[in-house]
Structure formats: structure tokens, C-alpha cells
């Protein structure tokens, strides 16, 4: 599966890549390349000539003991982590394709078959149901068989099988998925299993060494090493809530859901995607940070869904021009564009035009960061928020609420850019009266593709790409599959009229 054109590959569905050419190159180098050459060579005896190609005795300087000790430490980490990383395979049964030609005795007429042949008759028959297989990785985070993986690995599977490091096989039960973070929990009936402890991803620093473990291309429990290349990556386009760890540890298709650990062997990330133009490793991988994954896993285990915090503001990033207009010295923070009625933000006296610069002691770099911070906060938590209002710093205390069930898309805490053509919408389910269905447009982000296409507040969306939208769940399900460049056909009701609108890709 690819997201955003060709450069982000979700780590799933391994691609077989030949290595024969690589071996040939190595053999050729071994046969012809000269790696060292004596400065002078005289006529030597056969014994002297032989001695030229004998490797010299190699002795380690005392200073290399530290290197050997570090190597032993990496070996210990691998031994600790590998048993807790599992192979996950899924089977999905797809419905057969229907014949484009309805059955009609006319097609069985011998005269008609004389012109079109028996092959045409056979092709009209319905195809059998097909079984598709997928593969990924998972991490045991509880000795009683709870396993964290990616949502895209297991969400569409009819059957889920887990293979442990010792080759034991289990049928797994799906506990819950969260497409907004691309995380999921599955459980196997076992106890006393090896598991990984959660690390604190908020302490990660660029340059810190990490180890990745997973099942790339189905090669079980592959261990690679690298460093943290960046933290807090957003705008990648893989999920609604993004705060990715970027690493150069080699990860490939099949690593999805695998472990990223620190040098203490603690789980600090769930490997999710790679940047690639070839379909394989190119030195840029992304992992969901452990602090986010831990909260989502706990909520899925307890409730079967994710309970998120809610502030009740619409927000956007600052530009240099906006910063000047709102008397800010830089573009850091999230600009409040609206305060929702009966929300925690309204109760705490937030205003349109406030710039949120700090949340619960953490610096707010942009609207994406704020959105993630709020979502990770447990409802009923009192939080101190630092704002800039008319050029003056102020502090507001707010009791975070629970994300309303009927809010969808980017309306939960605001807007963070357009992941797809409908990202600029905030919607609610239509009240189920008189058989009404659809989602009601509550807000349209200014200058979004939705606004430019003509979608207005109070429109009711009935279909997206010819698929019926009954409620917010349908809206989430359909829009979660849209890419940034996808064109979208929307059927909506406006007053007493019904009309189609086409939204082009970016």
C-alpha cells in the first residue's frame, strides 16, 4: 500500500527482491580487485610469495575492549527483544466478482453461442471467493498474550495467526483497532510469555542509537541497528495523529508493527512505514512513539476503542504574516480560529485569535502537536495552557473533556492541513428522525478544497464516491481510504435540493 504518491510505503505485503546480482558483484571483486599492494616486489621464493597473501596476526588494542563490550551489549539486547517480537499473518476472503451480464436464457441459445463461443459463456459465470494473505509484525507487551501491532496489518483480516519466536502458532483475536494512529491490539490465549516494557519516548534525542526487530519479507526476527534521525515528524500523511520517530535502522515491508527499542531494551516505538522509491529500505523509516502507542493500547484493551481528550477549538498553523497580525514574535504555536459551544475551551474562556504556545508544560510547536497532546490527555484532567492574547502572555486552566462520539475527521480539535479532499470538513451524524441518514457539515475550513468545490455549512453529505454515508462511522471509514491526490465525488442534500460536487486531487 502506498500513501502520498510513491514515496511512503506502509510496511505490508512483502516484495521479493533478488540478491543474486549482489553475490555476483562480490565474487567479481574478490577475484579481480587489489585491496593492497606492496610498494616493491623482488623475485621471491614460492614460500615468500605465499607469505604475501597470508593475513597478518590481528591483535586488539586495549582501547577496543570498550567496542567489544558494546557489541556484547547489543547481543544481549537482541536476545532480550527477539522472543517478544512475533510474526503476524492474516487471511482475507474477498467476495467474488459478479458477472457484468445478468443471466438470460438468450445467452444459452446455441445460435448465439456459435458467434460468441463457449469461452464467453464461461466468463459469465461467477468467480469463486478468493483468499488474500498479508504479513506483518507485532510486539508482546503483556505476559498474558496482548500484542501491539499496526491497524493496517490486521484491520481487514478475517483470520489472524501469530507465530512466536519458538515457532508456536496461535489463532489471535482482534481486541480493537485505531486507524487514527494506525495501531491495533490482538490477543492470543497464552500466559507467561516474554514481553517488552514500555520506554519513555519523550526523552529520545536525535543521534541516540536504537535497534529495530521485525519480520521483513517474512524473515522472522530480523535485528537491525541505527540512530534516531528525527523526532516529532508530522505531515507524513499516514494517520490523523502523527508524531513519528524517524530512524535509519533498516526496516522493510513486513516490519510493520515490529519493535523499535533503546539500548536498555525498552520499547520506544512501533515501526510503521518507510520512505522509499524502490519498495525497500532507503534509510528513512517511521515509528509511532511509545508514549502514544502505550495510551492507545491501554484504551483499546480496557474499552475496545480509544477514549481521547477534547479541548473544543478549531486551530491552524501560524504563518509569518499571521504572526505579525496577532503580535507574535515567531510562528510557533496554534492559532485558535473558533471556540465550540459548550466545550471545555469555552468554559475556560478561550477566544478566537488566541495563540496556544504551551500545553501542560510542553511547548506547542504547531497545531498538529497541540492536537496530539490534547488527544493523549485523559478526560477530566485539569491542564494549564499558556496562550498569547493581543501580544500578552496569559495562562488558562482547562478541564479536558472526552471527545464527543459524533465528531469526525479533523473537527475533533481543529484542522492540520489537507490529507485528502474532505479534510477541511467538520461533520456530525444527522439526527435519526424520519429515516434521515448522512452527516451534517458543521464547519468548512476556509480555502480548503472542500470550500473551493462549493461545500457549505449545513450541507448533508449522503454519498462519497458512490458509497452511502449513513453516519459519522461511515464518513470516517470512507475518508480514511482517500489519498491526498484522489479526486472525490460527493452527493449532498442542500435544503430541498440534491446535487453532486466533484473535488479534484491536489
Give the residue numbers annotated as catalytic, written as ranges.
Answer: 152, 182, 256
How far is the C-alpha of 296 from the C-alpha of 240, rounded, in Å?
14
What secondary structure letter does DSSP report for 63? G
Count of CB atoms situated within 10 Å of the CB of 12: 19
Q: At 368, give phi and psi (nearest 5°).
A: -65, -45
Phi-psi region of 110 (alpha: psi -120 to 50; beta: other; left: phi over 0): alpha
C-alpha to C-alpha distance for 85 and 410, rounded to whole angstroms: 34
Q: Is 259 exposed, middle or buried (0-12, 13-18, 19+ CB in 10 A)?
A: buried
Cα 370 to chain centroid distance, Å, stands at: 19
Q: 246, 243, 268: which is closest to 369 by C-alpha?
A: 243
Residues in contact with 433: Cβ distance below 8 Å, sequence separation at least 6, in sequence order: none
Q: Distance (Å, rounded) from C-alpha 287 to C-alpha 256?
A: 9
Closest by alpha carbon to 1, among 115, 147, 135?
Answer: 135
Residues 6+ apart with CB under 8 A from 220: 87, 163, 165
Residue holding cell 490482538?
A: 186
HEC assignment per residue over 355-389: EEEEECCEECCCHHHHHHHHHHCCCCCEEEEEEEE
Q: At what angle do helices 290-303 and 367-376 cross, to 10 degrees?
A: 40
Q: d(Cα 323, Cα 432) in Å, to the nearest integer?
A: 43
3-state SS string for 453-481: HCCCCCCEEEEECCEECCCHHHHHHHHCC
DSSP helix/strand/coil, 166: coil
Instruction: Please list the residues that pair with 130 across neighbouring strands.
Output: 94
How many whole angstroms separate alpha carbon 297 and alpha carbon 288? 12
Amino acid at each position: 500500500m502506498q500513501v502520498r504518491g510513491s514515496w511512503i510505503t506502509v510496511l505490508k505485503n512483502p516484495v521479493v527482491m533478488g540478491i543474486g546480482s549482489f553475490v555476483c558483484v562480490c565474487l567479481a571483486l574478490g577475484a579481480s580487485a587489489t585491496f593492497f599492494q606492496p610498494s616493491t616486489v623482488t623475485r621471491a621464493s614460492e614460500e615468500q610469495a605465499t607469505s604475501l597473501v597470508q593475513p597478518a596476526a590481528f591483535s586488539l588494542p586495549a582501547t577496543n575492549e570498550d567496542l567489544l563490550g558494546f557489541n556484547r551489549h547489543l547481543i544481549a539486547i537482541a536476545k532480550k527483544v527477539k522472543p517478544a517480537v512475533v510474526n503476524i499473518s492474516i487471511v482475507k476472503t474477498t467476495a467474488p466478482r459478479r458477472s457484468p451480464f445478468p443471466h438470460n436464457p438468450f445467452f444459452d441459445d446455441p445460435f448465439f453461442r456459435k458467434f460468441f463461443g463457449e469461452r464467453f459463456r464461461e466468463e459469465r459465470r461467477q468467480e469463486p471467493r478468493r483468499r488474500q494473505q498479508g504479513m506483518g509484525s507485532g510486539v508482546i507487551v503483556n505476559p498474558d498474550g496482548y500484542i501491539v501491532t499496526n491497524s493496517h496489518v490486521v484491520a481487514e483480516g478475517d483470520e489472524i495467526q501469530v507465530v512466536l519466536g519458538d515457532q508456536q502458532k496461535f489463532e489471535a483475536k482482534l481486541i480493537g483497532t485505531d486507524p487514527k494512529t494506525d495501531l491495533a491490539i490482538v490477543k492470543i490465549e497464552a500466559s507467561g510469555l516474554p514481553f517488552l516494557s514500555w520506554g519513555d519516548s519523550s526523552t529520545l534525542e536525535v543521534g541516540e542509537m536504537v535497534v529495530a526487530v521485525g519480520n521483513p519479507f517474512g524473515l522472522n526476527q530480523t535485528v537491525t541497528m541505527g540512530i534516531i534521525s528525527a523526532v516529532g515528524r508530522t505531515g507524513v500523511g499516514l494517520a490523523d495523529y502523527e508524531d513519528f520517530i524517524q530512524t535509519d535502522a533498516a526496516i522493510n515491508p513486513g516490519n510493520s508493527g515490529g519493535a523499535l527499542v533503546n539500548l536498555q531494551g525498552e520499547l520506544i516505538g512501533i515501526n510503521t512505514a518507510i520512505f522509499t522509491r524502490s519498495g525497500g529500505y532507503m534509510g528513512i523509516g517511521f515509528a509511532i512513539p511509545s508514549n502514544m502507542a502505550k495510551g492507545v493500547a491501554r484504551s483499546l484493551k480496557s474499552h475496545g476503542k480509544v477514549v481521547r481528550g477534547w479541548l473544543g477549538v478549531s486551530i491552524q498553523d501560524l504563518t509569518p504574516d499571521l504572526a505579525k497580525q496577532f503580535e507574535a514574535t515567531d510562528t510557533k504555536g496554534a492559532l485558535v480560529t473558533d471556540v465550540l459551544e459548550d466545550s471545555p475551551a469555552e468554559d475556560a474562556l478561550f477566544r478566537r485569535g488566541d495563540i496556544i504556545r504551551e500545553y501542560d508544560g510542553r511547548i506547542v510547536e504547531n497545531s498538529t502537536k497541540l492536537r496530539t497532546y490534547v488527544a493523549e490527555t485523559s478526560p477530566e484532567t485539569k491542564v494549564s495552557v499558556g496562550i498569547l492574547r493581543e501580544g500578552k502572555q496569559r495562562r488558562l486552566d482547562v478541564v479536558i473533556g472526552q471527545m464527543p462520539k459524533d465528531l469526525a475527521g479533523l473537527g475533533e480539535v481543529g484542522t492540520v492541513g489537507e490529507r485528502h479532499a474532505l479534510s477541511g470538513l467538520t461533520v456530525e451524524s444527522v439526527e435519526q428522525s424520519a429515516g434521515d441518514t448522512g452527516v451534517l457539515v458543521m464547519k468548512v475550513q476556509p480555502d480548503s478544497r472542500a470550500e473551493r468545490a462549493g461545500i457549505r455549512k449545513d450541507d448533508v453529505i449522503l454519498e462519497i464516491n458512490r458509497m452511502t454515508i449513513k453516519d459519522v462511522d461511515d464518513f470516517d471509514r470512507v475518508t480514511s481510504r482517500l489519498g491526498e491526490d484522489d479526486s472525490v465525488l460527493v452527493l449532498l442534500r442542500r435544503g430541498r435540493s440534491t446535487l453532486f460536487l466533484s473535488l479534484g486531487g491536489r
